[in-house]
Structure 1
Amino acid sequence: MDADGSAGSPAGTPADVVAAFEDIPAVLWAFEGPEHRVVAANRAARATMGFRPGIVGRPIREVAPELEGQQVFETLDEVFTRGEPVIGDERRILVDRDGDGRLEEDWFSYTFVPTHHPDGTVRGMTVHIARVTDEVLRRTQAERSAAESERRRAAAQDVVLTLQRSMLPTGLPVLPRARLAARYVVAERELAAGGDWFDAVPLDDGGLAVVVGDVVGHGAEASAAMGRLRAVGANALAAGRGVADTLAELDRFAAREPTTRAATVCVAVLDPHSGALEVAAAAHPPPFVVTADGTARWVTGGVTGPLGTGAAAPTPVRDALGADDVLVLYTDGLVERPGHTLDEGLTALARTAVAAGHEDVEADTTVPAAQVDRIAALTVERMGWTGGGHADDATLLAVQRTAAPPPVFAVEVLAEPRGLRRLRRALDAWLDDAGVGDDDASALVHAVGEAVTNALEHAHPEPPADGVGARVEALLDDGGRVHVTVTDAGRWRPAPDDAGGRGRGLMMMRGLVERVDVTTGAGGTTVTLVTPVRRDVLVGSYGEDVAATVRDPDEDLATELHDDVLAVTGPIDTETVERFRHRVLDAARGGARAVTVDLDGASVFSSSAVQAVHELRRDLAGLRLHASTDSVAGRVLALTGLDDLRSETAQV
C-alpha cells in the first residue's frame, strides 16, 4: 500500500526505468562490441543527433559519420581495448544536427565507462555527456575582455614560457601565393617550455622556406639552445643557402655544444608560383600534404641522423603542391601517445588534419574560417585528447599554396566627410582577406588614413571637379610587404610654424610603417608607404585560446564617464574629433576639475586627434591621458610630443 492507503505499482518496473532513462537531461549512450553498436540512447542523446532515424542497433560510425577525424571513435576504441574509463572536460565536437551536411559546434564534458560480461571481458561501455556550450562561450567572452591582463599575469608566473615566446617568431609572413598558420603548445605534464621551434623565411627569389625542429630537453637551457639553432637556420635560408646547405650549417653548429647536439629538424623550400617543393630532414618525422580534394599523402625520404652526431648528409627529395594543397610540418610531441606505436600516431595525425581542413562548418562558430588555420588549430587541439593532453611540447606549421594572389586594392576616396571612413572599411577588409594580423593591419590603416587626410584637407584649395580627393592602391609582394600609394592632384602643404599639434602626420606615418616616400610635382602628390606584414602565431599551453581582436572600421566614437575618468572607444579622426573635444571639455567642466582620458579603446588616433589634445592641454591644466604602450593611441602619443600627459593607470 502507498502512504495514502491505495495500491501502488511495484518500484523498478521496466517502464519506470525506461521513463527515468528517457527524462534524464544529460546525454546517455550505451554501446556494445568493438564496433560500438548503439544499444540505448536517451532523448537527449538522440536530440544531439537531430533525432536522425535508425540510431539504435547500428554502429556509431554509421550513425554519425561526421565524427570521423575528431578523435571520438579513437577514444571509444581506447576504452574498449584497455577496459579503463576516460573522462574529458570541455571538448569541442562538430555535429551535422540538421542533416544538411553542415556541421554545428558544441562543447561537451564526458565520461566513458566500460561495461563487462560475467567473465570479466569488456562488453561495451556507457557514456555520460553533459553539454557545456553555454558555459564555455560565456567564459570565453569574459576571457576575451581580460586577454591582456591574463597575458601579463601568465608572463609573470611563467618566465620560461615567456622566454620560449620571445625566441619563437612573433608572427608569420603574409604572402600573396601562400598562407601560413602555426600552433605551439607546452607539454601539460612538464609545465615548462622546451626546445620546439619553427620558422618561415621569404626568399629573395620569391620562394618560401619553412623549418620545424626539436631540441632535446625542457626548460630555459633547451629554449636557449633552440633559439641559437633557429637563428642559424633562418640566416642560412635568408642568404639563399637552400635545403641541403642549411641542414649542413645546422649540423656543424649543433656539433659544437651538448645542448644543441642530437636535435632534429625538417627543412622545406616551396616555390609558391610553380608549387615545386624540396624537403630534407635530420631524424625528424616526415611532413605530409593535405590535398585540395581531401586526402593525405606523405613526403618521405631525404632523412639522415640527428644534428651534430656525424650522420651522413641527406639527399633532399622533390615534390609539388597543387593549388590549395596544404603542407604540414610538426614535431613528434604531436604524435607520441602512450600505448600507441609511432605509425599509429602518424596515421591519426594525418586523418585528423584532413578532417579539420575539410569539415563544412557553420559560420557562427569559434572555429577559424581559413582552411589552413583550421588545420593548425583543430589538429593540435584534437591530438591532445587521448591521454589527457600532450606529453611533450607539440608544434605544427601549415603552409597552403593559394590558388590565386589577392587582387590589387584600388579605391577612389571622395572629398567629403565620410570618404575616409569608407576607405578604412575597404582597406581593412582587403587586409583581413589577405590574412594580415590585427596589429600590422591597424598600423597600416592608420598610416594610410594620415596620408589621405592630408590630401583631403590640404591638397585641394577647392573641391575637385570629379569629387575624388585621393586615389589609393595597395598590393602585396612576394616578400610579404604591402605597398600603398596615395595620389592626389594637389600639392603637399607643410604645416605652418604656429600649427600647434598639426604637421605631425608624416612623422606618425614613419613611426607606423617601414618606409614613407613623398613625391610632389605640378601634377599632384604621391605618397608611397611600404611595410612588412605578418599574421599571429598561437603560442601557449594546451587549451589556451588566444582571442583575436575583431577590427570594426565602421564603428562610431563612444565615451563613458566614471568619476574623473572618461573612457573613449572607436575612431578619433577628422569626422569625430570635434565630438571628442566637446566630451573632454564637458567631462572637465570647462577646466573646473581634473580629468583622465582613457584612450586604450581608441581604434584610430589621427593627427587631428593629436592637434585636439595639444589644444586641450593648453585649456585644461588637469588633463591626463591613459594609453598602454602597445595601444594605437599609446604608440601615437610617444611619437607626437604628448607622452608627458600619460598617466600609468586609469580606473574605469
Structure 2
Amino acid sequence: MAPDGPVETPAGTPDDVVAAFEDIPAVLWAFEGPEHRVVAANRAARASMGFRPGIVGRPIREVAPELEGQQVFETLDEVWTRGEPVIGDERRLLVDRDGDGRLEEDWYSYTFVPTHHPDGSMRGMTVHIGRVTDEVLRRHKAETSAAESEKARQAAQDVVLTLQRSLLPSGLPVLPRARLAARYVVAGRELAAGGDWFDALPLPDGRLAVAVGDVVGHGAAASAAMGRLRAVGANALEAGRGVAGTLAELDRFAAREHATRAATVCVVVLDPRTGELEVAAAAHPPPFVVTTDGAVRWIPVAGGGPLGTGAAAPAPSPTTDRLGPGDVLVLYTDGLVERPGHTLDEGLAALARTAVAAGHEDVEDDATVPTAQVDRIAALTVERMGWTGGGLTDDATLLAVQRTATGPAPFALEIPPDPRGLRSLRRALDAWLDDAGVGEDDAMSLVHAVGEAATNALEHAYPQPPPDGAGVRADAELDDDGRVTVTVADSGHWRPASDDPGGRGRGLMMMRGLVERVDVATGATGTTVTLSTPLHRDVLIGSYGDEAAAGVHGANEELGAEQRGPDLLAVSGPVDTTTVDRFRVRVLEAARGGARVLTVDLDGVSVFSSAGVQAVHELRRDLPGLRLHAAAGSVAGRVLALTGLDDLLRTPERPPAPGDDPDGSSALG
C-alpha cells in the first residue's frame, strides 16, 4: 500500500554527503551549545583558520582567541540568546592564519542561522561565510583612485549631514605630546544627522581640552542646537573656566531654550606634559583609558543631571586622573553602547573590549587598517560596534586621545644650491609631517610653501656657479599649541628678479596664500623666511561604513605627460624648477606650436611651483587657445587661483571630450 504523503529520500551516502560538504567553496561552520562548540567545519572553514589543529570539538573561543574584541563572539551569543538569524555584509576580520602571532585582514559576508533539537529547544547554529575581500579591495582602490569620489558621495547625502559637517571641527590639532583621532557616524541609512558633537582645543597654558556631547533629537534643529552648545563650551574653555566652570556655563545656556535642554556632555582637560587629567560630566557615559598593557581603566565621573533641566547641578569638583605615556583616553556618545535587548553595562563592556582589541592587534603591514594605535581605536571600534544589535540606532561619536611618550624631533635639513635638492627637501618634510599625523591638505600646503621659499633662495641668493659652502637650510618645530614654525635660511646676498611679465615674483604671494603667516628677514649674512601655521589632522564625518581618511603620502618624483586624445594632455608629478623645461616642451609639442587648441589636465600634478606659474604665463602668450583643467581642491587648482591664472580653467566638471569645438566649448553643451 502506497504511503499517504511524500516520502523523504536519503540525502546520500555518508561519504558523498561529507565530500559535498567539504568541497563547498564557502566557509561553513556548525556550532552546538552556549559555548559554541565546533561540531563541523568544512575545508574552507579550516583553511580560514590556517588549518590549525584541534578545531572540531572545542569552543570557537578556544579555537580562534584572536577574534575576542572583534564582535564575533558577541554575535554568536546574540543568535543563541535570541534564537534569530543574523546577516551581515562586508565585515572586516583579523585572523592569525599563519600562526606567527600577526593578524591578517579579510572581509566576509555571513549568515548565522540557529538550529534546534526535535523538541524545539536551541541546539546551536550553522554559519555560512563568503569571503568578499577581493571585491572590497577593488572597490576601495577604485574609490581611492577617484579623487573626487568622496566629494561626490557627500554632495548626494542629506542636507542635514552637510550642516553637521559645517558645525563640527573639520580637523583635530596636531600636538607634539598628544595624538588625537575622532570618528562621527550617522545612524542607519537615512542619514538623519543629530546632535552629537566633539571638540579639541589647545589651551594657552599648554594643556589640551576635549569634549564630547549629545543633544536630544535629530535633524536640523538638533544640529543647530549642537552648534550653539559647542561654541559656548569652546569659549568657556578658552577663557580658562576649567571643566567645572565650563559645565556650569553650558548648564545656564542650555536652560534658555527647548532644543538645548537635556543635552549631555563630558569635558576633559589634559596636561600632555604630565598626563594629569581633570574630568567632569553632565549625565554622560564615563570615559575610559586603554592602557599600554591592554587593560581598561574606567574614570568614575560624579556627573549631575542633563544640561538645562534644573536637575542636580554638575559636580563642582572634577575627577582627577593621570594618563601614562602611550595610554589612550576614549570619550564617546551613548549611540555606541545602546542596543535593544542589552543593558547599558553590557554595552559599555562590549565597547571597552572592542577598543582594547582594536588598539592591541598585531596587524600585517599590507592591511588597510590605520597604522597609528589611536587611529585604529577610533576607526575599528566604531566600525565593529555597528555589527551587532541591528547596527547603530543612533548617531555615534568617538574621540580618542593618546599621550605620546616623546614629541617628534625637530626637522632639520640642508640642501645644496642645486634645484635637484628641492625634491629631497619636499620628500623629507612630507615624511616628517606624516609621522606627526598631519592631515593631507595641511601637509600639502606647508610642503608647497616651504618648497617655494627654498626655490626663491636657490634662484636669488647665490650667483652661478654658487660659492663653496653655499646651501639652503630648513628647520621646523611643532609647538604645544599645534602650530608649526618653519625657517628657510640661506647665507647669500639677495639678487632681485629681472623685470619679467611672465609671473616671477609670485612666490611670496603663493606662500602667504598657503600658510597663515610669512616673515622675511634679510641681512648681511643671508635671508631667512619664517613660515608659521596651525596644523590639523583629518576627521571623518559621515555614514557608517565610511573608511578613514588616508594618511599623507609623498609626491610623485617624476614628471609625467600623457597624450589622451588629440586635444588633451594629462600632466602628473612635480612641475618645478627641475621639470619645468620638460613641461613647457611637452605642452608645445602637444599643441603643435599653437596649431591645435589644447587642454592641459593638471589634476595629477603633485607640486606646482612658481616656475610652473611662469611657464603657464609664457605658454598662454604663445598658445592663444590654451585651456587648463584643475579641480578646485587640487594642488594646481589652488595655485592657479592664487596666481590669477584661473581664467584659463575649463569647466571643472570634466576635461574636454573628443568632438569638443576648437574654441574650447563642448559640442555636447
Aligned to 1:623: 626
Hey, what does 1:506 align to over in structure 2?
Answer: 508
Q: 2:352 and 2:628 mapped to 1: Cα distance?
A: 52
Measure the CA separation in 2 of the matches of 1:580 and 1:562: 16
Structure 1 residues 537 and 486 mapped into 2: Cα distance closer, same or farther (>3 Å)?
Answer: same
- Residues 494 and 503 in structure 1, CA contact (< 8 A), matched pair in contact too: no
Deviations 1:406-438 (A, max 9, x none): 001000111223200011110000000000000
Q: What does residue range 553-632 of structure 1 map to in structure 2 within 5 Å?
A: 553-563=555-565, 564-632=567-635
Name the CA distance, whole Å, in 2 between partners of 1:16 and 1:156: 52
Matches within 5 A, 1:452-601: 452-466=454-468, 468-548=470-550, 551-563=553-565, 564-601=567-604
Structure 1 residue aligned with 2:95: 95
1:463 Cα offset (Å) = 4.2
Measure the CA separation in 2 of the matches of 1:349 and 1:157.
Answer: 28
User: Aligned in 2, Cα 1:241/1:493: closer, same or farther, shift over 3 Å?
Assistant: farther
Q: What do you get for the CA RMSD once the two structures are aligned? A: 1.4
- C-alpha distance in 1, partners of 2:189/2:507? 51
TM-score by length of 2: 0.94
Residue of structure 2 equivalent to 1:54: 54
- Given that residues 333 and 393 in structure 1 are in contact (C-alpha distance below 8 angstroms), is that contact kept between their aligned partners in structure 2? yes
Structure 1 partner of 2:388 = 386
Contact between 2:502 and 2:617, CA under 8 Å: does it hold in 1?
yes
Whichever residue aligns with residue 626 of structure 1, its letter is: H
Kept in 1: contact 2:277–2:321 (CA 8 A): yes
CA offsets, 1:386-421, max 9 Å, x none?
Answer: 023200000000000001000010001112232000
Contact map agreement 1:375 1:398 (CA 8 A) in 2: yes
Q: Is residue 648 of structure 2 the alignment partner of residue 645 of structure 1?
A: yes
Shift of 1:145: 2.6
The alignment-based identity, stated in percent, is 81
Equivalent pair of 2:599/2:656 in contact (CA under 8 Å): no
More displaced, 417-426 or 206-215?
A: 417-426
| Whole-angstrom CA distance in 1 between matches of 2:330 and 2:231 | 22
User: Cα 1:557–1:549, aligned 2, differ >3 Å: closer, same or farther?
Assistant: farther
Deviations 1:24-48 (A, max 9, x none): 1110111111111111111100000
Matched, 1:633 2:636: yes
Describe the shift of the 1:85–1:468 C-alpha distance in structure 2 as closer, same or farther (beyond 3 A).
farther
Q: Distance in 2 between matches of 1:493 and 1:641?
A: 25
Alpha-carbon deviation of 1:600?
1.6
1:120-172 Cα distance to aligned partner (Å, 9 max, x none):
11111111110000011011111223352442343244111111111110000
Post-superposition offset of 1:542: 0.3
Instruction: Give SS of 1:16's match.
Output: helix
Q: Does 1:312 align with 2:313?
A: yes
Relative to structure 2, which stretch is displaced further, 285-294 or 630-639? 630-639
Q: Distance in 1 between matches of 2:66 and 2:246?
A: 42
Partner residue of 2:402 out of 392, 400, 403 = 400
State the match for 2:72 in structure 1: 72
1:608 maps to a residue whose letter is A
Q: Which residue of 1 aligns with 2:12?
A: 12
Letter in 1 for 2:47: A
1:149, 1:108 → 2: CA distance? 24
| Contact 1:415–1:463 under 8 Å retained in 2 | no
- What residue in structure 2 maps to residue 269 of structure 1? 269
1:259 partner SS:
helix
Distance, in Å, in 1 between the alignment partners of 2:182 and 2:127 is 34
Tell whether the 8 Å contact from 1:279 to 1:302 is kept in structure 2 after alignment: no
SS for the counterpart of 1:273 is coil
CA gap 1:154/1:313 in 2 versus in 1, 3 angstroms: closer
Contact kept, 8 Å, 2:462 with 2:494, in 1: the verdict is no
Q: 2:483 & 2:656 partners in 1: Cα distance?
A: 39
Question: CA offsets per residue over residues 532-564 of structure 1, 9 Å max, x none?
Answer: 010000110001225526522352111222231
Aligned residue number for residue 6 of structure 1: none
Task: Tell me the amino acid that sits aligned with residue 406 of structure 1.
Answer: P
Question: SS of 1:303's equivalent?
Answer: coil
Equivalent pair of 1:144/1:547 in contact (CA under 8 Å): no
Structure-to-structure mapping, 1:35-54, within 5 angstroms = 35-54=35-54
The residue aligned with 1:215 is 215
Give the Cα separation in 2 of the matches to 1:435 and 1:466: 37
- Do 2:439 and 2:552's aligned partners in 1 also have CA atoms closer than 8 Å? no
**1:210-249 deviation line (CA, Å, top 9, x unaligned):** 0000000000110011011111111111222211111111
Question: 2:518 corresponds to which letter in structure 1?
Answer: V
More displaced stretch, 71-80 vs 467-476: 467-476
**Within 5 A, what are the aligned runs for 1:17-32?**
17-32=17-32
Normalising by structure 1, report the TM-score: 0.97
Amino acid at match of 2:284: H
| 2:260 aligned counterpart, secondary structure | coil
Q: 2-side partners of 1:309 and 1:591: how far apart?
A: 73
Structure-2 separation of matches of 1:517 and 1:528: 5
Structure 1 CA distance, aligned partners of 2:390 and 2:562?
45
Q: Is 1:205 aligned with 2:208?
A: no
Cα deviation for residue 624 of structure 1 reads 1.1
Q: Secondary structure at the match of 1:490?
A: coil
Query: Which consecutive residues of structure 2, in runs of 5 or more, have no partner in the other structure?
Result: 1-9, 658-669
Asked if 2 retains the 8 angstrom alpha-carbon contact of 1:624 and 1:647, the reply is: yes
Separation in structure 2 between the aligned mates of residue 44 and residue 266 of structure 1, nearest angstrom: 47
